[in-house]
Structure 1
Amino acid sequence: MTRDRMTTWVWVLSGILLLAVTIQPVGTAAQMSTGVTLLAAMAGIWLTRRKGAFRLVFVALGLTVVARYVYWRTTSTLPSPDDLVDFVPGLILYLMEMFTVLMMCISLFVVADPLERPAPPAVADDDLPTVDVFVPSYNEDKEILSATLAAARAMDYPADKLTVYLLDDGGTDQKCGSSDAVAAHKARSRRAELQELCADLGCVYLTRVRNEHAKAGNMNAALPKTSGEIIAVFDADHAPVREFLRETVGHFRDDPRLFLVQTPHFFLNPDPIEKNLSTFRHMPSENEMFYGVIQKGLDKWNAAFFCGSAALIRREALEEGGGFDGVSITEDCETALGMHARGWNSRYVDKPLIAGLQPETFATFIGQRSRWCRGMMQILILKNPVFKAGLTIPQRIAYLSSSLFWLFPLTRLTFIFAPMLYIFLSMQIFEASIDEFVAYTMIYMAANLMMQNYLYGDVRWPWVSELYEYVQSLYLAGAIASVVANPRKPTFNVTAKGLVTDEKRLSELAMPYFLMFALLVVAETVAIWRLLHEPGSRDMLAVVALWNGLNLAIAGLALGVVSEREERRRAQRLSVSRRGAVRIGDATIQVMVEDVSSGGAKLRPLDGRLPADRSTGRKGFLAVAMSHEDRRVAAVPIVLRRVGHDEKGGAFGVSFDTLTAAQAAVVADLMYADGGPLSAFRRSRQHYVGVFSGTARMVALSLRHTLRGLVYLARIGQPPAEKPEPAPAAKPAEGAQRSQT
């Protein structure tokens, strides 16, 4: 029996079981025993981490618990319509719950059997297609662009079949001719500077007349000026590793209708939540659930979509569809939707092959997510996949999942305010006894947690999704409302990267989180007071107090999220292992390069011998063998910044000193010659954490960061502390830093 036929039979049998169990009119005691039995069967698979067909059986058992809860919730818990004061909010809560159930079912359909795609076939150099690399840019610094362009230029591919284009929207004719003399001068200077950079790196500089239709318009303007059979797209801060094309291009030989090969986005720096909670080095990144599980699930249904960067696209498919779509501000997903509807195929390669940057501050993080949210709402309203001609049913479900996901602020805020209606106003919006609540709701919640942990445990720890959704919900609810009011109004805003926070401070967006935390504290206090003084309502008060307490723990953790830690390093470091030689003065030292950034490196002497003169500021050169061509030795100028010892022995840190374009290419070769460090860092963070240990970890983090957030708040209005001198840009990190969506 084939895998697909086995999957079909499992789903058919599961559906029969689901229907049979759901409609049984059992009492509370029978429901409890049935639920516990189903949970025990799930636990047997969950705790032993069984996969294959067991994965589908596990999902079927979980859905049986969910269906039983939905049946009871629908038929037995709604307030009477005669009492509108309770019925209206009760109905809203019920609808939000049913929406989460719908989203869970859609997600389970997508990820129940994710596709593990094999490597592409090797293709002889003579048979490789021509590739044009598009690097769209708007306002990024020259340093960021030089790293990406140099890495793209150094990819392992025949030189006569690879052309790298910088698509500069910051130096358009429109900007250079601006009536604002200062802005015009800035644009002309940028154009000249980047033209020189491209000439030095062997890239091609392109710009256009006017800034129209944002990133999609920028790339569409480049299409008639270029001719490569395949177009590789890299954001300005997404540098590819040397083997990027070798790991991806071969897929196009397998399928003449393949339009897209997408790879994961991988980041060298933490997002603001990871940075401010200090979880970056040991907890899976937020985007790893999407790129590690969901995209592979979408790939099974031929629905993996374009994520804006780190991807290859067939020119023929783009030209057939009139270029990149730009109706919404998420042109990537919109373009893929159109391609799939025209019968083209996509593939996803689950291997990190680029290193990028994430927003560094909480405000820029919210700005980025607001753009994603508004763009996906535009697609849902203006190009609804349910009615899009040409899509298969699984593709419709997949795209619906990706767009409906962004309605999470509505459910998250509902679940925050719902318990307060009973705590403050004694509103009966959920009619159930404590026995029924335990037998149905608690069993359902347990099954939900088990399914999340079983399916995503290696890439998403318990309660992390709830935290990310909460911190976005307070601002994204307004973004959803704005798109509903005017779907064509949103405009594309570039997310700033490479920012630094030179002091500890509260985010400019912090106050709503402190106000929400205060409201939840008051609600919990009232709930406890009522528990002590109202014995007749004690059962239900205990339930809503626990519910509100969970909300309070997440809100407290969010106070740490909006309390910005100091971070002055502009250039993030990547762990590497390359031999080289350092010459400072008359001494030459053989070294191992342990980590490197665009600004500097950490070096370890092979014989333990540190520079004789350890005065900082001394200049010299670092020589390394290049990873390609004739493996010639190239050197970059360095400045000694730090000398010391760690657990491995002596080491010293250097900064790079005024690099030319050719020297920047040497640094890019040091960083991106091998994708192994990216994969190794991702694997080091992908370790399973169970529900109980994950919950304990979340509570401990919440207590610590609630206190830290309140300390930050107490310092508002006090004179700022005297700022210390900025640390040298090349001061090495203690260990390797790695890389979302």
Structure 2
Amino acid sequence: MSRRLLAIRAIVLLTAVLGLNYVIWRWLFSVNWVAWWVAVPLVLAETYSLVDSLLFGLGMWRLKERGAAPAPDPDLTVDVFIATYNEPIELVMRTARAAKAIRYPHETWVLDDGNRPDMREAAEAEGIRWITRSADWAGMPRHAKAGNLNNALLSTEGEFFLILDADQVPHPDILDKTLGYFNDEKMAIVQTPQFFENVPESDPLGSQAPLFYGPIQQGKDGWNAAFFCGSNAVIRREALMQLGVSRYVGEVEVGVHRALRAARAVLRSARRDLAPDQQEVRGALDRILAEIRQARRALGQGEPLFDVTYAFQRRVAEIRRELVTADLTALQSDLAAIAELEGIADDPDVALGTVDEDVLQQLAHRDWSPLGAVETVQALVNAVDVDRGGEAQAVMPLATISVTEDMATCMRLHALGWRSAYHDETLADGLAPEDLATMLTQRLRWAQGTVQVMFRENPLVQKGLTLAQRLMYFATMWSYMSGFAALVYIAAPIIYLTFGVLPVQALSTDFFARLVPFLVVNQLLFIVVAAGRPTWRGQQYSLALFPVWIKSFTTAFGNVFLGRSLDFAVTPKTKSAEGGRTRWDLVRPQLWAMALLAVAALVGIVRVAVGQAPVFGTVFNVVWVIFDLAVFSVIIQAARYRGFEPTPSEVPEGAAGEPHEGAA
């Protein structure tokens, strides 16, 4: 074990002890219950921050520095995918030419989701393959980038594929330095950093993520939880196709189980209403109930799904024919309900696995005639959408449950027992947002996608993941809830300085003796794990973008639980049309927060001057305000940013003194 890792573990332990000591003491002895309306939110925010710190420390506990990968097998087949929708053609071609020049033998593909004839012409003129969606996608859900990639997966054959965004220009040795990891037959994904060449050293938009594309991913890698980030990653096709097939079978199986449960309830209801002299009918219903038990038992033992459902349907059909002559008179009252259910089976846009549970409950508790019950059972099982008629492809290897396909896909692969690796070396140069509006669009989409995954497939309850993997995925999702804590951290000093309401019982020596060491050691942990990488900008934006984080949470909640639309926006690769003016409207909540903080500080100073407030408490909160204003100052820089103007030292190699496409 290296000295650095030993130092990190010592600081992690110290941070955990000091943090727990402070927060437990706050809950037990320090909350000012008289002012509970501000005291409780503050201690909850502090508890949130402690959990965030503990999850970060857990990741750093096994920080993994891999070094160089082994030499790859020279005979692997590789596809390079360049995903594009509406980006400028020359920008895409710059990436495509670089991809074609990758040294390891491969096939280069432009995945043109915009189906542009001029894009096709430009690609094919330089010997680069072009592909767009097949006709099967017409009128079907498109699933944005995930759908584009899923379409390409079923039209290509390479054992491995490298995914690149349209602006991510690969280095010639990107495959030479990553394919060797796949000597491990259980390796599914190798992720490399996303680095942006059009970012000045000051990085006013916080585009570079040196902490995430470094220690955080390395820490997750130590727990086999480094995850796919959408671009600059090499993926094993076998792993992804296994995932697609297993998800497909799993979803169909869920539908079958739901159908069998509802069918059992229908039959039991019909059986209770039988007259004593209907022994023949009772026997027929009992036979079908036995068939349901047998089908569920066979599924539980892992027998092929299609064999089980086919055999069950055949046996139910035989019993149905036996009952036809015995129950024609009672059948009329059931026809409407059966027709409605068969309409579900015939509707290509509806699968039984997605039918509302209330509908199935209503069917199960309706008064059925015996033959009507049998007809219903057959319709229920037939309604399982084995062909997934509501989708362009039955098999969707990349996850389509959120506006970002990457995290959910990788989490599912880990749950199947596959491994991932993070190679900490820049092997592609991309383009970052050139203005505030574009940056906010990008960050909101990332956050929305992550929160959607948390709501739909919370890693804490996913089978197949280790405990550490669950926590590593959850740590990323948890971090996007910081917007609510930020509101409290902004409001607390304002309330104290303006109204004198203290959320703690006293600003005592005991309070500072617990708080200050925790804050100092926590910052020391960041410094040590960063190893010289700049982290301040990332810390600023984690607080300064609190409106974005809150919006991501509320909109994702509305989408997942309330069925509201969540519009997908491709991150523009050039400046917005309004990039020439300062967009203060985009950061109005932050400007209001800064104004309120500044006014509160002045009010607090005046209150001290007239003897209405204690000096010490006011000084402490004014320092807090100054820190918040220093954090929010990045918003001023971002709003005034006019795009990348490279200095001679920042001109990309080979650019002959000219900025690349999309630069200002």
When normalised by structure 2's length, the TM-score is: 0.71
Number of the residue aligned with 2:550: 477
Cα distance, 1:72 vs structure 2: 1.7
**Structure 1 residue 554 and structure 2 residue 631: aligned?**
yes
**Structure 1 residue 295 and structure 2 residue 217: aligned?**
yes
SS at match of 1:234: strand
Number of the residue aligned with 1:602: none
Q: Cα–Cα, structure 1 residues 507 and 147, in superposed 2: closer, same or farther, change >3 Å? A: farther
Q: Cα–Cα, structure 1 residues 503 and 486, in superposed 2: closer, same or farther, change >3 Å? A: closer
Deviations 1:600-625 (A, max 9, x none): xxxxxxxxxxxxxxxxxxxxxxxxxx
**Structure 1 residue 431 and structure 2 residue 505: aligned?**
yes
Cα distance, 1:124 vs structure 2: 5.1
Cα distance, 1:403 vs structure 2: 0.9
Counterparts of 1:385 and 1:198 in 2: how far apart (Å)? 40
Counterparts of 1:87 and 1:563 in 2: how far apart (Å)? 40
Cα distance, 1:471 vs structure 2: 2.8
Number of the residue aligned with 1:69: 22
Which amino acid counterpart does residue 193 of structure 2 have in structure 1? Answer: P
Number of the residue aligned with 1:542: 619
Number of the residue aligned with 1:257: 186
Number of the residue aligned with 2:568: 492
Deviations 1:520-571 (A, max 9, x none): 11111001111222266222222222212221232344222212336589xx
Which amino acid counterpart does residue 195 of structure 1 have in structure 2? Answer: R
Counterparts of 2:537 and 2:483 in 1: how far apart (Å)? 15
Q: Highest relative contact order (Cα 8 Å, sep 6+), 1 or 2? A: 2
Counterparts of 1:553 and 1:52 in 2: how far apart (Å)? 32
Counterparts of 2:521 and 2:645 in 1: how far apart (Å)? 44
Alignment match of 1:167 (pick from 76, 97, 111): 111
Number of the residue aligned with 2:164: 234
Number of the residue aligned with 1:563: 640
Which amino acid counterpart does residue 110 of structure 2 have in structure 1? Answer: L
Counterparts of 1:424 and 1:536 in 2: how far apart (Å)? 10
Cα distance, 1:231 vs structure 2: 1.3
Alignment match of 2:407 (pick from 328, 333, 347): 333
Kept in 2: contact 1:504–1:564 (CA 8 A) = no
Q: Cα–Cα, structure 1 residues 312 and 427, in superposed 2: closer, same or farther, change >3 Å? A: same
Counterparts of 1:59 and 1:529 in 2: how far apart (Å)? 42
Number of the residue aligned with 1:710: none
Counterparts of 2:579 and 2:504 in 1: how far apart (Å)? 49
Which amino acid counterpart does residue 574 of structure 2 have in structure 1? Answer: G
Counterparts of 2:114 and 2:76 in 1: how far apart (Å)? 31
Deviations 1:23-74 (A, max 9, x none): xxxxxxxxxxxxxxxxxxxxxxxxxxx6242332222223222222123212
Number of the residue aligned with 2:121: 196
Number of the residue aligned with 1:345: 419
Which amino acid counterpart does residue 175 of structure 2 have in structure 1? Answer: L
Kept in 1: contact 2:167–2:431 (CA 8 A) = yes
Cα distance, 1:423 vs structure 2: 1.8
Which amino acid counterpart does residue 418 of structure 1 have in structure 2? Answer: A
**Structure 1 residue 361 and structure 2 residue 435: aligned?**
yes
Kept in 1: contact 2:434–2:643 (CA 8 A) = no
Cα distance, 1:168 vs structure 2: 0.9
Deviations 1:613-665 (A, max 9, x none): xxxxxxxxxxxxxxxxxxxxxxxxxxxxxxxxxxxxxxxxxxxxxxxxxxxxx
Aligned 1:649-668 pairs, distance under 5 A: none
Q: Cα–Cα, structure 1 residues 573 and 153, in superposed 2: closer, same or farther, change >3 Å? A: farther
Cα distance, 1:321 vs structure 2: 1.3
Kept in 2: contact 1:137–1:170 (CA 8 A) = yes
Which amino acid counterpart does residue 17 of structure 2 have in structure 1? Answer: T
Alignment match of 1:116 (pick from 59, 65, 72): 65
SS at match of 2:614: helix
Cα distance, 1:303 vs structure 2: 0.5
SS at match of 1:490: coil
Counterparts of 2:579 and 2:207 in 1: how far apart (Å)? 24
Number of the residue aligned with 1:305: 227
Cα distance, 1:497 vs structure 2: 0.9
Kept in 2: contact 1:198–1:204 (CA 8 A) = yes
When normalised by structure 1's length, the TM-score is: 0.64
Aligned 1:174-189 pairs, distance under 5 A: none
Counterparts of 2:45 and 2:514 in 1: how far apart (Å)? 17
Counterparts of 1:345 and 1:492 in 2: how far apart (Å)? 30
Kept in 1: contact 2:146–2:400 (CA 8 A) = yes
Counterparts of 1:266 and 1:215 in 2: how far apart (Å)? 20
What is the RMSD computed on CA atoms of the aligned residues?
2.6
SS at match of 1:123: coil
**Structure 1 residue 129 and structure 2 residue 76: aligned?**
yes
Cα distance, 1:285 vs structure 2: 6.2
Which amino acid counterpart does residue 279 of structure 1 have in structure 2? Answer: S
Counterparts of 1:195 and 1:119 in 2: how far apart (Å)? 37
Q: Cα–Cα, structure 1 residues 372 and 566, in superposed 2: closer, same or farther, change >3 Å? A: closer
Kept in 2: contact 1:147–1:239 (CA 8 A) = yes
Which amino acid counterpart does residue 160 of structure 2 have in structure 1? Answer: I
Q: Cα–Cα, structure 1 residues 433 and 512, in superposed 2: closer, same or farther, change >3 Å? A: closer
Counterparts of 1:123 and 1:352 in 2: how far apart (Å)? 19
Mean CA deviation greater in 257-266 or 530-539: 530-539
Q: Cα–Cα, structure 1 residues 55 and 554, in superposed 2: closer, same or farther, change >3 Å? A: closer
Q: Cα–Cα, structure 1 residues 240 and 284, in superposed 2: closer, same or farther, change >3 Å? A: same
Cα distance, 1:221 vs structure 2: 0.9
Kept in 1: contact 2:197–2:652 (CA 8 A) = no
Kept in 1: contact 2:451–2:480 (CA 8 A) = yes
SS at match of 1:261: strand
Cα distance, 1:244 vs structure 2: 0.6
Number of the residue aligned with 1:688: none
Counterparts of 2:650 and 2:83 in 1: how far apart (Å)? 24
Alignment match of 2:466 (pick from 385, 392, 409): 392
Kept in 1: contact 2:110–2:130 (CA 8 A) = yes
Number of the residue aligned with 1:87: 36
Counterparts of 2:480 and 2:608 in 1: how far apart (Å)? 37
Which amino acid counterpart does residue 171 of structure 2 have in structure 1? Answer: V
Structure 2, unmatched stretches of 5+, are 245-396
Which structure carries more helix by proportion?
2
Q: Cα–Cα, structure 1 residues 284 and 420, in superposed 2: closer, same or farther, change >3 Å? A: closer
Kept in 2: contact 1:167–1:219 (CA 8 A) = yes
Query: How many residues align structurally?
Result: 502
Which amino acid counterpart does residue 259 of structure 1 have in structure 2? Answer: A
Q: Cα–Cα, structure 1 residues 556 and 192, in superposed 2: closer, same or farther, change >3 Å? A: closer
Deviations 1:500-521 (A, max 9, x none): 7774534541433332222111
Which amino acid counterpart does residue 396 of structure 1 have in structure 2? Answer: R
Counterparts of 1:54 and 1:566 in 2: how far apart (Å)? 40
Number of the residue aligned with 1:157: 104
Counterparts of 1:438 and 1:513 in 2: how far apart (Å)? 29
Deviations 1:473-507 (A, max 9, x none): 12331221122233264242100012277745345
Cα distance, 1:730 vs structure 2: 10
Which amino acid counterpart does residue 547 of structure 2 have in structure 1? Answer: L
Counterparts of 1:306 and 1:491 in 2: how far apart (Å)? 23
Which amino acid counterpart does residue 291 of structure 1 have in structure 2? Answer: Y
Alignment match of 2:150 (pick from 220, 242, 246): 220
Q: Cα–Cα, structure 1 residues 289 and 99, in superposed 2: closer, same or farther, change >3 Å? A: same
Q: Cα–Cα, structure 1 residues 156 and 396, in superposed 2: closer, same or farther, change >3 Å? A: same
Counterparts of 1:230 and 1:560 in 2: how far apart (Å)? 42
Which amino acid counterpart does residue 600 of structure 2 have in structure 1? Answer: A
Counterparts of 2:512 and 2:483 in 1: how far apart (Å)? 27
Kept in 2: contact 1:503–1:567 (CA 8 A) = no
Alignment match of 1:205 (pick from 92, 110, 130): 130
